Amino acid sequence: MMRSTFTVSSAGPRAALAALLAAVMIVFTVPSASADDRDDLVQQRDQNEQEHEDLEHSLEGVKSDLADVYLKLENIKKRLPQARDELDQANDKLAAAEREAASVRNRLEVAKAQRSDLEDQIDAAAAEMQQTEEALGAVARSAYRGGNSASMVSVVLTATSADDFVDQYSTMNSAMRNQSQALSDMETLAAVNRNREARLEAVQDRIEELKVQADQAVANAEQARQQAANLVSEIEELKKKKSARADELEGLKDKYSDQIEVLESENAKISDRIAEIDAAARERERKRQQEQASRSSSRSSGSSNSGSSGSSGSSGSASSAGLITPIPGPLHVTSPWGMRNYPFGGWYMHNGVDLHSACGQAQRAAAGGTVVEVNPAPNGTHGNQVMIDHGVIGGSTYVTVYNHMSRFAVSQGQQVSQGDTIGYTGATGLVTGCHVHFEVWKNGSTINPMGLPGF
């Protein structure tokens, strides 16, 4: 039978068993990142994604190569601290995995020592039982040949005196009692050995389980070690890229130092065109009101003899309905209306609101009116652009502008009703992705569309 090379102390099997039980009682789990740590990383990742999306929209109007380098640099800056946090957690996980592997190895050695000790006890007991069986067999064979009665006669005949008889008789009875005790002891020893064999089987099963656990613990430690190594490599690579992108960005900044002036110039052109549209709308409204007043005066003169004084007037509005959203709600604002911080220094006005929209989604007229501009890309920063003159609504002139469309659904001079499809969401012009850019001009000035009823 094979024996373990592990040696048991002089305390014997009891000490080994106690050590095994103590080891088994240790509940050891491999702590990975705690739930809070994982939640923090998920939250940080989501925040980074949101900031990335916001940053993309803040770069609307920026030359594509400049925006691309800037975004890559900002992503590196955000990824670096996150990678460092992940590395700290990976190192913690590695240390825990190594502790678990060491713990399993210790428990495995204790179990092997227990197995060796039990095997030695079983072998020793088996040898003792074998010797007892051989001795009892010899006695049995002798008794069979001579018989107990013959032995008694021999004692009587050979005794030389009464004292000699007593001594021989006593000796014979003692030998018989010893044989009986030997049989009893052998039965007890056999029962003990059966119990040891059952324990040995249980210990063997435990050893097999611990071997599996040991293999898994080693695999976990190796996986954690590889994860940490990968993060170290990533961090080093990020540092190199960060330096390279920063240098590249500085060169592009100089190249496009006049970018804000370009944006302001394009906004001024839009403003001038809106002013022309407003002037025309107000002139039309003035003429309409004059004609209405003239008709009302004529009706009043014709009905004065009948005593009728009723008159009707119009609000003069091109439409009595309010503006609706360019896409169905709920709306997700990706970049608000208002002054925008230019990433490379300075501020400029974002005349519209950017709304999340899938590429190809239909965009609709916010109100009825006339399509006054259909400007295809290339068209500065705006891309494919539609302008609609809604005339006077509630005493104020309104013009809406839609930029970056993928394609048009209307033509210049076309009359549209509120809700008609005028084009489809795209990413033409200087933008980083598909979205709706929607502007509302009231009385010649841009306003925040999200402040309108229903937005």
Tokens 């009703």 belong to which residue? Answer: 417
Rounded to 5 degrees, φ, ψ at 283 are: -65, -40
Contact status, residue 142 vs residue 189, Cβ threshold 8 Å: no
DSSP characters for 165-197? HHHHHHHHHHHHHHHHHHHHHHHHHHHHHHHHH
Write the pLDDT tens digit of every residue in 313-370: 333 334 445 899 999 989 999 889 998 776 666 777 889 999 999 999 999 999 999 9
Burial (Cβ within 10 Å: 0-12, 13-18, ≥19) of residue 427: middle
- If one counts every other C-beta atom within 10 angstroms of the C-beta of residue 355, the result is 24
Write the pLDDT tens digit of every residue in 190-229: 888 888 888 888 888 888 888 888 888 888 888 888 888 8
pLDDT at position 438 is 97
Average pLDDT score over residue span 13-38: 42
Average pLDDT score over residue span 10-36: 41
Cα 358 to Cα 377: distance, rounded to the nearest angstrom: 19
What tokens does 6 get?
A: 């592990």
Beta bridge partners of 435: 426
Whether the per-residue pLDDT at 159 is higher than 80: the answer is: no
pLDDT at position 142 is 64
What tokens does 14 get?
A: 């009891």
Cα 8 to Cα 114: distance, rounded to the nearest angstrom: 8
Cα 361 to Cα 405: distance, rounded to the nearest angstrom: 10
- If one counts every other C-beta atom within 10 angstroms of the C-beta of residue 18, the result is 12
Contact status, residue 52 vs residue 74, Cβ threshold 8 Å: yes
Q: Which helix (H) or strand (E) holds 403?
A: strand 396-405
Q: What are the structural domain ranges in the chain?
A: 13-254, 263-299+318-451
Please report, to the nearest 10 degrees, the dihedral formed by the alpha carbons of residues 384, 386, 387, 389 taken in order: 170
The CATH number, out of the four listed (2.70.70.10, 2.40.50.140, 1.10.167.10, 2.60.40.420), of the domain defined by the range 263-299+318-451: 2.70.70.10
Tokens 């014979």 belong to which residue? Answer: 172
pTM of the predicted structure, to 2 decimals: 0.48
